[in-house]
Structure 1
Amino acid sequence: MVNDGGPVARVRSALVAAGVGDTVRHFPAGVPTAAAAEALGCDISAITNSLVFDLAGEPLLILASGAARVDTALVARQLGSEKIRRASPHFVLEHTGQEVGGVAPVGHPQRIRTLLDDSLKTKDLLWAGAGDHTTMFSITYKELRRITGALELPVR
């Protein structure tokens, strides 16, 4: 998929429409979790990774701390499901309109069932991907929960 700025524009629109404002920042190079934390001068645990999983053929978005590894068995038990699988890049793109490594919590073609790592609530400010590999936006935990409609759960 050619990066034409479409996914980032959709994220910006979603943020503005939700009343949180456009806090998207562009970086000259890709910003994986550790590099993003360094570039932003924040702890890696304030980076919010948007991870897409396949739950019986439906997308499940887990917003997890950059310092955490999602325990899929724990999440599956909490949801009353047998298994959650990491989604393929094609599945992620199909359901989010964004490529793996740049998925945002918002700006998808349709609302996705979303879980929010409750460990993130200890941070004053979070940073999340904004639709591609070179952009991120800032938001509070409370606002992120509100605009995504996420269910708060321990994910690790």
Structure 2
Amino acid sequence: MSDTLSPRSLLVQDALRQSGISGEIVVLPDAASTAALAAAALGVEVGAIANSLVFWSDGEPLLVMTSGAHRVDTTALATRLGRENIVRASVDQVRAATGQAIGGVAPTGHPAPVVTVVDEALAAYPEIWAAGGTPHTVFPLTFGELVRLTGGTVVAVAGD
């Protein structure tokens, strides 16, 4: 399948293999740039979609891998992480930090490691799906694999 993947998705696939994750990148016929679109295309619950959201916090990018079932409460998350503030990254900041476009940001395959938070709500699903580097690609993995792959801190990202 790798001969049909974009260069960005190939970087993600290589990072998955280096981490011992066997999930294959799936190329979807239509863009799945939102959790709802990805869940519909895959026939899974929206909560099993691991949204990759890039924020800017205390002068650096922060990747939040959140369940598609809810929104990130940036004020509560900043408090939980002991950060001054967390705001949405700009399109240019997302591209610079990840090398990927909004709607297709993978949890790996970035030019340099990005500080990552993993939503504890994703642990409720035996299999989760994350973007594969483009809005048309996704791949399956487990919660434990996502935490290991990203080196992420597990925390609640939704409000109380």
Q: How does 1:15-94 map to 2 (within 5 A)?
A: 15-31=16-32, 32-94=34-96
Identity %: 42
Select the residue among 129, 133, 136 that pairs with 2:135. Answer: 133
1:142 aligns to what? Answer: 144
Q: Any idea what the Cα deviations from partners look like across 1:96-145, whole Å, max 9, x if unmatched?
A: 00001100000001111000000110100000000001000000001111
**1:53 positional shift:** 0.4
**Distance in 1 (alpha carbons) for counterparts of 2:132 and 2:126:** 19
Q: How far apart, in 2, do the equivalents of 1:11 and 1:151 lie?
A: 20
Alignment: residue pair count? 153
Ranges in structure 1 where 5+ consecutive residues have no aligned partner: none
Which runs of at least 4 in structure 1 moved beyond 2 Å after TM superposition?
none
CA RMSD of aligned residues (A): 1.1
> Counterpart of 2:14 in structure 1: which amino acid?
S
Q: Which whole-Å deviations, capped at 9, do the CAs of 1:7-30 have from their partners, x for residues lacking one? A: 111100000110112410001110
Instruction: Name the CA distance, whole Å, in 2 between partners of 1:123 and 1:79.
Output: 24
Whole-angstrom CA distance in 1 between matches of 2:49 and 2:95: 21
User: Given the two structures, how large is their TM-score scaled by the length of structure 2?
Assistant: 0.93
Which of 110, 113, 116 does residue 115 from structure 2 map onto?
113
Secondary structure of residue in 1 paired with 2:62: strand
Contact kept, 8 Å, 2:57 with 2:84, in 1: the verdict is: no
Q: Could you tell me whether the CA contact under 8 Å between 2:23 and 2:141 is conserved in 1?
A: no
Query: What amino acid is the match of 1:30?
Result: A
Provide the rounded CA distance (Å) in 2 between the counterparts of 1:130 and 1:52: 15
User: Equivalents in 2 of 1:140, 1:102: separation in Å?
Assistant: 19
